[in-house]
Structure formats: C-alpha cells, structure tokens
C-alpha cells in the first residue's frame, strides 16, 4: 500500500518526445538517514527538513542530470520511491525544495494502513512493494530510457534489476512469479506485479534501463554485485556515479565538474577523487579512455586529479602514460553492455545472504 504524489509540470512529455526518467530511492540514496538503531529510527519522523542531510554531491548530480538532459533535447523526469511512511512526506518535500530539486512524483509506503490492517509482513516486505510501484510508475508515466538509483541497505539491486528485465521482456509470467515467491513476496503482491507486467508487455519489450546505481552506504563488497551484470554499478560515492553517467552520455562535463566540486568542498581531496576514479576503472565500470577524458575535463575546470606519481613524473611523462593507457585500453575487450542475469542462481544467493 502506498501514498503517491504526482506533480504535473508544464510541458509534460508529449507523444514521441524524447525523454529520460530518473528514479531515486530516498533513504541512504538521497538522504543520509540513520536507522541503524531503534533510537535513531524513532527520531526520523520528528526531524525537520533543515535537519535532514543529503549525501555529498547528490543535489549537484540531480541538477547536472536535468541540465544535460535539457541540453540534449530530452525531457527529464524525476521520481522518488521510498519505503518510508507518508507521515514524513511534508518534511521530505521541504528538504527537496531547500536543495532545489525539481521532481515529478514521490511515493511513500503507507505503513500506518498496513499496521491498522494487521499486515505486518507487508510492513517489512520491500520487493513486492517497490517492484509494483516501479511498474505502475512506468505504466502511468513516460515510456523513456531510465536510470535508477538505490543503495545496498535492503533489496534495491534485486528490485531494480528485476524491473529492468521485466521491461526488457526477459522476465515475466510464471518465471517472474516463481522468483518473487522465492524472494518472500506475498501472493496478492505477486498477482499485482504480474498484472502490471502483462499490461506493459503488451507494448512490446523495451530495454530501457540504462544503468542501475547502488550507493554502497554499507560498504558491501562490490564483488557481490557481479551476478547482476555490468548494467548495475556499485558506487562508493557520487563522484563514481557521476563518472559512469558521464561515460554513458547522460551527464555532461559541467555536471561531472559540479559533483566533483561538491565533494571537494565537503573534504574530499583530489587524490581521494582520483583513487575513486581509478577504482571504477579497475572494476571495469569505467573505460580508461573516459577516465583520462574526465581527468582532463576536470583539470580544465581547475580541479586537479593527478595522482602522486603523475605529479612527480611531470607533464611530459603523464602525457606518455596517458597515451600508453589509451593503447592498453584499445587492446582490452570492452565489457558487454548487457549480460543475461542468471536469475534463479542470483535469487538463491540473494535469499541466502540478504541482510535487509
């Protein structure tokens, strides 16, 4: 059960108009919500908007994504999907306004109604709720390329990946039902998801989810997300997310620079940002060519991301090193854009190891 708010804005996507959808989780993805202890959990509803803290670089990333989309001629849509109760909605909306975030819809989970009706399992269950809401949002909203943002606290990786494969026509019917059942989704939620999935399937498959970003707020080992394939990018900070979005052309150089600057202002040194960039390259979520381009772009923007060795070597040696890296990058086979997910194995593994 959910509480939805749509914000119809002037100039909604017209038929055939190119657009792009950004779907965000709120807690641990946009906000640094602390619910590790019961005390902190209890305090959340009483937090004022001014007390809520966003994760470093998120407002700048959202602003950059919007501007880049408009510059490309895409109409950007931003939706929030939260498992928090609607009772905190007023302060959340104020917080988004304070951060200058323009959005098109926000969905909360109506926990009070679940409580009153004695649906205790529904209060805990996330997969059925979020997947249902994502599919409903797709059915009722724009048909467009999508970028999804979540975190590693609960089940965002599996929910978002299921959603992407349902849209792409790779999952559906009994197989989807069986997977959801193994994930502990209630029967009526499975029926609801299945119904909307069938409606969407009528439009034909759409491999529209460009990337899924999982903010590693819990520092979950990134290797655990390999079974989800290269579409899902586990990111340790929003600079890594921005770099990946820059590579796929959804964020431009200006937006990348703004995210880097936001982190820099919050205490990230150039070396820390550089280490983040190199980490993404080593994990093969960023090509060495894009990495070099990003370094140059940020350098022109007055942000130094040279490593200690590059500073020691000097400009000529760095140019030589970059040339070598580009040559090495050309000899490396590019990772496949999409790899089929072995859903049965993944769900078994997820159920055995999930913590949320």
Partner 1 sequence: MPRIAVDAMGGDFAPDEVVKGVAKVSLESGIEVVLVGDSARIQALLDEGPYDPELISVRHCASAIGMADDPHEALRGKRDASIAVAARMVADGEADALVTAGNTGAAVLCAARNFKLIRGVRRAALASVYPRETELPGQDVFGLLLDVGATIRCEAAELAQFAIMGSAYARRVSRQPSPRVGLLNMGREEGKGGDVLVEAHRMMRALPSIHFVGNVEGSDVATGRADVVVAEGLLGNVVLKLLEGIGEAASHLASQAAHDSWRVRLGMAMLAPGIEKVRDMTDFGTYGGAPILGFEHLCIKAHGRSSARAIANAVKVAAKAVRDRVADEIAEAVAGIR
Which residues in this chain contact partner 1 in the complex, by CB under 8 A? 219-223, 226, 236-237, 240, 268, 271-276, 278-279, 282-283, 307-309, 312
**For residue 302, what are the contacts with CB-CB under 8 A and spacing of at least 6?**
none
Beta-sheet strand order (sheet of 75-81): 2-6, 105-109, 75-81, 19-25, 145-151, 209-215, 232-235
The nearer residue to partner 1, 186 or 271, going by C-beta atoms, is 271
Q: Which of 131, 148, 147, 122 is nearest to 197 (CA)?
A: 131
The nearer residue to partner 1, 10 or 308, going by C-beta atoms, is 308
Give me the least distance between CB of 241 and partner 1, in Å please. Answer: 13
Q: Which residues pair with 22 in a beta bridge?
A: 78, 147
The nearer residue to partner 1, 87 or 275, going by C-beta atoms, is 275
The nearer residue to partner 1, 312 or 319, going by C-beta atoms, is 312
Give me the least distance between CB of 244 and partner 1, in Å please. Answer: 14
CB 346 within 8 A of CB 116: no
The nearer residue to partner 1, 34 or 310, going by C-beta atoms, is 310
Q: Which residue has the tokens 């190891």?
A: 353
Give me the least distance between CB of 321 and partner 1, in Å please. Answer: 12
The DSSP 8-state label assigned to residue 27 in this structure reads B
CB 39 within 8 A of CB 95: no
Give me the least distance between CB of 146 and partner 1, in Å please. Answer: 27
Distances (CA, A) of 201 to 51, 170, 194, 197, 205: 43, 10, 10, 6, 6
Q: Which of 176, 180, 158 is nearest to 229 (CA)?
A: 158
Give me the least distance between CB of 352 and partner 1, in Å please. Answer: 17
Give me the least distance between CB of 268 and partner 1, in Å please. Answer: 7
The nearer residue to partner 1, 35 or 236, going by C-beta atoms, is 236
């Amino acid at each position: 059960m959910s509480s939805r708010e749509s914000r119809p804005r002037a100039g909604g996507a017209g038929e055939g108009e190119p657009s792009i959808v950004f779907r965000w989780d709120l807690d641990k993805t946009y906000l640094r919500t602390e619910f590790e202890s019961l005390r902190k959990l209890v305090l959340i509803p009483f937090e004022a908007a001014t007390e809520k803290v966003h994760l470093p670089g998120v407002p700048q990333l959202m602003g950059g994504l919007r501007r880049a989309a408009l510059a490309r001629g895409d109409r950007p849509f931003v939706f929030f999907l939260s498992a928090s109760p609607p009772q905190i909605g007023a302060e959340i909306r104020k917080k988004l306004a304070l951060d200058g975030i323009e959005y098109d819809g926000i969905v909360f989970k109506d926990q009070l109604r679940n409580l009153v009706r004695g649906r205790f399992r529904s209060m805990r269950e996330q997969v059925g709720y979020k997947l249902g809401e994502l599919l409903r949002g797709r059915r009722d909203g724009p048909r467009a390329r999508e970028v999804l943002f979540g975190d590693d606290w609960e089940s965002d990786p599996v929910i978002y990946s299921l959603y992407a494969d349902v849209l792409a026509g790779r999952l559906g019917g009994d197989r989807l039902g069986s997977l959801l059942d193994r994930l502990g989704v209630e029967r009526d939620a499975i029926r609801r998801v299945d119904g909307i999935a069938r409606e969407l399937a009528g439009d034909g498959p759409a491999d529209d989810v460009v990337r899924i970003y999982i903010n590693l707020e819990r520092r979950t080992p990134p290797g655990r997300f390999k079974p989800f394939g290269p579409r899902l990018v586990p990111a340790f900070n929003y600079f890594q997310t921005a770099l990946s979005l820059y590579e796929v052309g959804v964020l431009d150089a200006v937006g990348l620079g703004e995210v880097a600057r936001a982190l820099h202002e919050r205490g990230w040194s150039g070396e820390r940002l550089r280490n983040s960039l190199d980490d993404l390259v080593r994990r093969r979520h960023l090509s060495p060519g894009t990495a070099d381009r990003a370094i140059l772009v940020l350098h022109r923007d007055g942000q130094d991301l040279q490593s200690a060795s590059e500073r020691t070597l000097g400009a000529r040696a760095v140019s030589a090193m970059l040339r070598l890296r580009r040559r090495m990058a050309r000899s490396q086979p590019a990772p496949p854009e999409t790899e089929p997910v072995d859903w049965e194995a993944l769900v078994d593994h997820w159920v055995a190891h999930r913590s949320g």
